[in-house]
Structure 1
Amino acid sequence: MTLENLISIPELCSHYQMEMSFFTNLKEVGLVEIKTVETISYIDSACIYEIEKMIHIHQDLDVNIEGIDVVLNLLEKIEALNNEVTSLKNRLRLYES
């Protein structure tokens, strides 16, 4: 397995000043996928934006892991609804023309 696209969790913990348990708890809830190679845990670098979002929600808003899951689900639903509204507006403009 190549480590090219992976970031070690100890490195993330050091960079963001987080506990290893934070990432373990995110994994238990199903918010992140952790890969282990030779006793070192890694996260795919493609997920870094979502990881940073979770860290900011946790640190800045003092939200626990379960709350992070709820917030992310609500943000996802809001985005889907915004996309649907945009689509419906475009269809409506088609009929108004």
Structure 2
Amino acid sequence: MPTSQLIAATEFCIYHNIELSFIESLQQSGLITVVVQEERIFVEENELPQLEKMVRLYHEMDINLEGIETITYLLQRMNDMQRQIAELNKRLSLYEG
């Protein structure tokens, strides 16, 4: 994977004023994926929007890791259900028209 698509976790933490242990905890919980190169932790660029949401929940709303896990799970379920509804609506429109 090219290094240009990786963000150093330490830089992310400095920018967002959080501890590196928070990112490690999210990774251990399976909420994000990190890449370790030369004993440094990196976050993939496509993970940044989700990671920034979790930082806001933790930092600004004072939600703990367990709460973030629950919120993330419920949001994922909701998105899955919305996709299913859209697919079912498409199928239904074939029979109505």
Paired residues, number:
97
Give 2:62's aligned residue: 62
Give 2:91's aligned residue: 91
Give 1:6's aligned residue: 6
The 4+ residue runs of structure 1 with deviation greater than 4 A are: none
Determine what percentage of the aligned residue pairs are the same residue: 29
Q: Which runs of 5+ in 1 are unaligned?
A: none
- How far apart, in 2, do the equivalents of 1:79 and 1:6 lie? 26
User: TM-score by structure 2 length?
Assistant: 0.86
- 1:46-57 equivalences under 5 Å are 46-57=46-57
Q: Which runs of 5+ in 2 are unaligned?
A: none
1:73 corresponds to 2:67: no
Residue deviations 1:13-71 (CA, integer Å, cap 9, x gap): 11111111111111111112222222321111121111112112222332111211111
User: TM-score by structure 1 length?
Assistant: 0.86
Give 2:82's aligned residue: 82
